[in-house]
Structure 1
């Protein structure tokens, strides 16, 4: 859902709040302010800071201080802290409504022209002004520079191949204009990991030949042991990786630890743009600390009390163990809703290289039969203690786009109908073991490929294999590392893959249905169609099934739609298409996510939505407002 832009959202609250009192200095910075090495808080905030509402029953005005520790499995997980921090130009509320955040105001004309208005006096974490120059630099000197972006600006900014006209109006106003509606723009900016359309120009110019003399730049490239200025710039400029402590940021916490390390410390941003309603600058928490451990032992470490806030690397089957140790270690274990379409889903590869398997995967009778031969209730009871919901891989009841039929069509356990459909699909011959034969005489031995060694996936595959054997299909699984797993799918070597389902199963009509359309190779059911779309026909294969082309047609209708009803109609056409054609095979949805919270950590909701996009995991609930009460 999009809020009605064109008026100032949050500005009045900020003016009222700041007219009643002077902003309160943060104890963490008091010594620096007293020493004169940091300006006082009233000089660090924008003229109109964003005021945190904190109007939910579980929220309260807090007090600053403390360290929050979480555990991750890889050094690269520093980027997860960027996701959790969730300061965006525009951001989603817990009700999935988009509103200005870093920006003070956004004005939209016919979904084609977007005027972004910055907060006057807003500064980067190093104190340098955040202005329209940072947008100009990113667009002209990075995105439009073929040395830095060899294939052109990020495709997320294109509408039917057209990139925006970017106009710098004044120091705090930037305009993006397309000749066609761009319904993707604001939701993209509010994403868990958006294309950040700005960059700290004052910092990055030292690595750019337009602003630095050749000899100096060459010396910097050599000192950093890089091959070129663009490689050096690329290494320094990514705001979303959160791995360069020298790169200024607008997020609530600033990275301070150089890689590699096993412990990363992020400290509060002295120039952060948000305050609570009593004038305290956010975030409340002084330091966000990330420790690195083997993924296999993270649940044990969390259960032992070594994390203050944890959901990542915890699975539902850890819940009982975590509950056992929670009370003695000062923890609470909560179960949040998940926002994915299916906890585990199966992806028949419609672009597999083997022509016999390709023809079979494309036969809707075969896909429907596989779905009908899954006892989802058995999976739900055996693995998820009945707390999930047997379902196709589709949207959840939490979205107004949900219909019961989307969840249940061809998803009721029915071996008789499955057998009949397999016979109709030409698989009516069997060998001496009762295994059906492919049209070329090979036994129907289905290899399901997985990424890693998830016991949850293995358990689900074993349960399904028992029933698929009853309809004459032998099942084998093949695990591999994630990169190998994906490359095999993209190359057409994989017949069927297993992974999590639809990433965003709680959309509003204004959000893009692109995940359900053959636009991206990361959709394992049609990787080569996605490659074709992404590369504008240079790689992959064009969509050659009428039923899948209908998805593209509905997507085009959604893109051109003006108004919620037209957007909803396009969404329903796509969801109905998926239910009818079973492009992917879901199992169980709405499996709760264990969320472990230190008992003294406040403003973390007791019930929440744990989802990457939309949601940014904890980001939807603004971790800058989390705070520690006294033990």
Structure 2
């Protein structure tokens, strides 16, 4: 099957969709929206989006969209390595008290939200109160934000206490009620007051895909439909959306004057070349982005080769040998001017166990032994070499490359493949084959069947088959429950699963987020395992308030030991990815942590679009 992406200009169907946007509450058609765009970036996501309300989403692909629609106070320099924060809508860097408990920031005057019918034809300026309102939404029980635990951990004075009172009294959130630690001092000045020391607060709010400013009028005007109606101050606006099929964003015609600027390291030749070429260019440089959803690897790959897509994010592992034989770009691709960008991601592949599940969960020695046996029986090396075609390195801990607690020299049981030790553990704790059918039973004699969520794509089937054979070799039977990724993720968040294998990416340089996956306060959010252990809670809370340095790194080392001992997660690998771009896509560099990059690329000399 060959997927044919939409042509460079809008089709009749797209024009009709644009003409009806005002009925959907999206920006109404204007001359810009209905003029065929000149510079279009076309590519595909491998996983469907869930929606575009920053307070309600947590999945990667929805966040890529919101990162281009909304803006936060700070962001990351697009070329700096290592990562460096810089103002985005803030007027300079924050003023911070000596104890890191009081943060004062100013919003730059003259920044406006994109046009929308809720503003009744009037320009709507971004002000400090918009950030107060936006961040209050994370505490609203009715919003049920998956990111609330992260904001709660900051200890903003009065916010968690107010939320707790609403949960007790079952009353709605009063957005006009003052919160001691979250105030607009004047039209453009925002102040945050914290209960505890938080030296890295800026990294949290630099996640513009999540903590970007929304306008109260939009949220109230589209009550119950905020996932479909994103309105921000960013460089792009949502123009059309066919759920799980096609997302179209147009350049924001009223975007402020913003120009390409960066500070790459002096010895960064690639970064210096990009700066020399693009410095001073007005952003964004392209007119439209069309994002298709194609879950299967082959049609996504073929659509790029055929020129129907301009960019291929994460070359499918199935085809990596065709792209990089012997580690170099294939001659047939190089002759077409195709560019390859290979990088070690700040991510981790892992298998998660539901600690509330009666089969694999719990803290008794037998349940711990079962999880550790499953981990020891998992041949991550084979998964990497065969399933992932060598495009990963083994993981030894929860911590991700490019983050503070990652140590490439660290080694632990987390990275071991030892079926003999797995069998010994199972035997020792009573998981034996009592009836001689080749499969082990539970210590109480009941049938033992593991169940893992999975997705229906061919690549995941290869990974599942390797793992299924690994477990069968030690007498453990696993069955798979297939569902679309968004459906599986809902089950994960609700705790309605036994096992699942997935990946997470770092949103900021600090490793606190990875440690949060063990914190009891993050159950239902980033603590996918629903793990609860006072010792790890204490480590998390201590690390949050310490400055970077040896004492804090010692806490992270202890967390690695406890993570391996209890094994709520089996960390399997950190991925290399190779992004590909046709020669007309210029200026691309994969961000380390930021989700947004479309505004920093240009389309120059693209051929006419292929007919559908």
Length-normalised TM-score, structure 2: 0.70
Q: Assess, with a 3 A threshold, how the Cα gap between structure 1 residues 177 and 442 changes in structure 2: closer, same or farther.
A: same
Helix, strand or coil at the partner of 2:459: helix
Which residue in the other structure is 1:113 paired with? 102
Out of 157, 171, 187, the residue aligned to residue 171 of structure 1 is: 187
Out of 475, 479, 503, the residue aligned to residue 476 of structure 1 is: 479
Does structure 2 conserve the Cα–Cα contact (< 8 Å) formed by 1:435 and 1:473?
yes
Q: Which structure has the bigger radius of gyration?
A: 1
Deviation at 1:487, TM superposition (A): 5.4
Which residue in the other structure is 1:103 paired with? 90
Q: Are residue 369 (structure 1) and residue 373 (structure 2) matched?
A: yes
Write out per-residue CA displacement over residues 582-623 of structure 1, whole angstroms, 9 at most, x where no aligned residue.
Answer: 221133x23322312121222213xx467xxx332xx2xx43
Superposition map of 1:135-146 within 5 A: 135=131, 138=134
Helix, strand or coil at the partner of 1:403: coil
Out of 62, 66, 81, the residue aligned to residue 65 of structure 2 is: 81
Out of 583, 586, 590, the residue aligned to residue 571 of structure 2 is: 586
Which residue in the other structure is 2:259 paired with? 275
Deviation at 1:503, TM superposition (A): 3.3
Deviation at 1:385, TM superposition (A): 2.8
Does structure 1 conserve the Cα–Cα contact (< 8 Å) formed by 2:72 and 2:211?
no
In the aligned structure 2, how far is the partner of 1:463 from the partner of 1:512? Answer: 27
Deviation at 1:134, TM superposition (A): 3.3
Deviation at 1:441, TM superposition (A): 1.5
Write out per-residue CA displacement over residues 86-135 of structure 1, whole angstroms, 9 at most, x where no aligned residue.
Answer: 74311133423333221122112222111111223333345543333534
Q: Assess, with a 3 A threshold, how the Cα gap between structure 1 residues 433 and 154 changes in structure 2: closer, same or farther.
A: closer
Q: Are residue 600 (structure 1) and residue 578 (structure 2) matched?
A: no
Does structure 2 conserve the Cα–Cα contact (< 8 Å) formed by 1:509 and 1:568?
no
Superposition map of 1:176-255 within 5 A: 176-182=192-198, 185-191=201-207, 193-196=209-212, 198-200=213-215, 204=218, 230=220, 232-233=222-223, 235=225, 238=226, 243-244=228-229, 247=231, 249-255=232-238
Q: Are residue 386 (structure 1) and residue 365 (structure 2) matched?
A: no
Q: Assess, with a 3 A threshold, how the Cα gap between structure 1 residues 152 and 500 changes in structure 2: closer, same or farther.
A: closer
Helix, strand or coil at the partner of 1:576: helix
Helix, strand or coil at the partner of 1:382: helix
Deviation at 1:154, TM superposition (A): 5.0
In the aligned structure 2, how far is the partner of 1:337 from the partner of 1:271? Answer: 33
Q: Are residue 67 (structure 1) and residue 40 (structure 2) matched?
A: yes
Q: Assess, with a 3 A threshold, how the Cα gap between structure 1 residues 68 and 502 changes in structure 2: closer, same or farther.
A: closer
Helix, strand or coil at the partner of 2:563: helix
Structure 1 residue runs without a partner (length 5+): 1-36, 39-63, 208-229, 530-542
**Which moved further from structure 2: 577-586 or 484-493?**
484-493
Q: Assess, with a 3 A threshold, how the Cα gap between structure 1 residues 624 and 418 changes in structure 2: closer, same or farther.
A: same
Deviation at 1:554, TM superposition (A): 0.6
In the aligned structure 2, how far is the partner of 1:91 from the partner of 1:507? Answer: 12
Out of 296, 302, 305, the residue aligned to residue 303 of structure 1 is: 305
Superposition map of 1:187-586 within 5 A: 187-191=203-207, 193-196=209-212, 198-200=213-215, 204=218, 230=220, 232-233=222-223, 235=225, 238=226, 243-244=228-229, 247=231, 249-257=232-240, 262=246, 264-276=248-260, 280=280, 282-296=282-296, 297-311=299-313, 315-320=316-321, 326=333, 331-342=338-349, 345-353=350-358, 358=362, 363-392=367-396, 394-403=398-407, 406-447=410-451, 449-482=452-485, 484-486=487-489, 488-489=491-492, 494-495=497-498, 497-504=499-506, 507-508=509-510, 513-518=515-520, 519-522=522-525, 526-527=529-530, 543=532, 548-586=533-571
Does structure 2 conserve the Cα–Cα contact (< 8 Å) formed by 1:388 and 1:592?
yes
Q: Are residue 92 (structure 1) and residue 81 (structure 2) matched?
A: no
Residue correspondences, number = 501
**Which moved further from structure 2: 468-477 or 77-86?**
77-86
Deviation at 1:361, TM superposition (A): 8.6
Write out per-residue CA displacement over residues 137-190 of structure 1, whole angstroms, 9 at most, x where no aligned residue.
Answer: 6578x77989x8699995544345356523333332121212333457422211
Deviation at 1:74, TM superposition (A): 5.0
Helix, strand or coil at the partner of 2:503: coil
Q: Assess, with a 3 A threshold, how the Cα gap between structure 1 residues 155 and 135 changes in structure 2: closer, same or farther.
A: same
Which residue in the other structure is 2:8 paired with? none
Write out per-residue CA displacement over residues 519-578 of structure 1, whole angstroms, 9 at most, x where no aligned residue.
Answer: 222557633x5xxxxxxxxxxxxx3xxxx2211111111233245444333333222321
Deviation at 1:464, TM superposition (A): 2.8
Q: Assess, with a 3 A threshold, how the Cα gap between structure 1 residues 494 and 326 changes in structure 2: closer, same or farther.
A: same
Deviation at 1:505, TM superposition (A): 9.3
Q: Assess, with a 3 A threshold, how the Cα gap between structure 1 residues 524 and 452 changes in structure 2: closer, same or farther.
A: farther
Q: Assess, with a 3 A threshold, how the Cα gap between structure 1 residues 486 and 624 changes in structure 2: closer, same or farther.
A: closer
Which residue in the other structure is 1:615 paired with? 594
Write out per-residue CA displacement over residues 40-67 of structure 1, whole angstroms, 9 at most, x where no aligned residue.
Answer: xxxxxxxxxxxxxxxxxxxxxxxx9732
Does structure 2 conserve the Cα–Cα contact (< 8 Å) formed by 1:406 and 1:575?
no
In the aligned structure 2, how far is the partner of 1:593 from the partner of 1:456? Answer: 15
Structure 2 residue runs without a partner (length 5+): 1-30, 53-61, 116-122, 162-178, 262-277, 325-329, 607-612
Does structure 1 conserve the Cα–Cα contact (< 8 Å) formed by 2:517 and 2:528?
no
Deviation at 1:452, TM superposition (A): 1.8
In the aligned structure 1, how far is the partner of 2:375 from the partner of 2:591? Answer: 27
Length-normalised TM-score, structure 1: 0.68
Does structure 2 conserve the Cα–Cα contact (< 8 Å) formed by 1:302 and 1:310?
yes
In the aligned structure 2, how far is the partner of 1:284 from the partner of 1:565? Answer: 42
Helix, strand or coil at the partner of 2:356: coil
Does structure 1 conserve the Cα–Cα contact (< 8 Å) formed by 2:39 and 2:603?
yes
Q: Assess, with a 3 A threshold, how the Cα gap between structure 1 residues 433 and 326 changes in structure 2: closer, same or farther.
A: same
In the aligned structure 1, how far is the partner of 2:83 from the partner of 2:69? Answer: 17
Does structure 2 conserve the Cα–Cα contact (< 8 Å) formed by 1:346 and 1:585?
yes
In the aligned structure 2, how far is the partner of 1:367 from the partner of 1:152? Answer: 27
In the aligned structure 2, how far is the partner of 1:150 from the partner of 1:403? Answer: 35
Does structure 1 conserve the Cα–Cα contact (< 8 Å) formed by 2:112 and 2:126?
yes
Does structure 2 conserve the Cα–Cα contact (< 8 Å) formed by 1:341 and 1:392?
no
Write out per-residue CA displacement over residues 274-304 of structure 1, whole angstroms, 9 at most, x where no aligned residue.
Answer: 2136984531423122153543333332232
In the aligned structure 2, how far is the partner of 1:432 from the partner of 1:479? Answer: 29
Helix, strand or coil at the partner of 1:275: coil
Does structure 2 conserve the Cα–Cα contact (< 8 Å) formed by 1:350 and 1:358?
yes
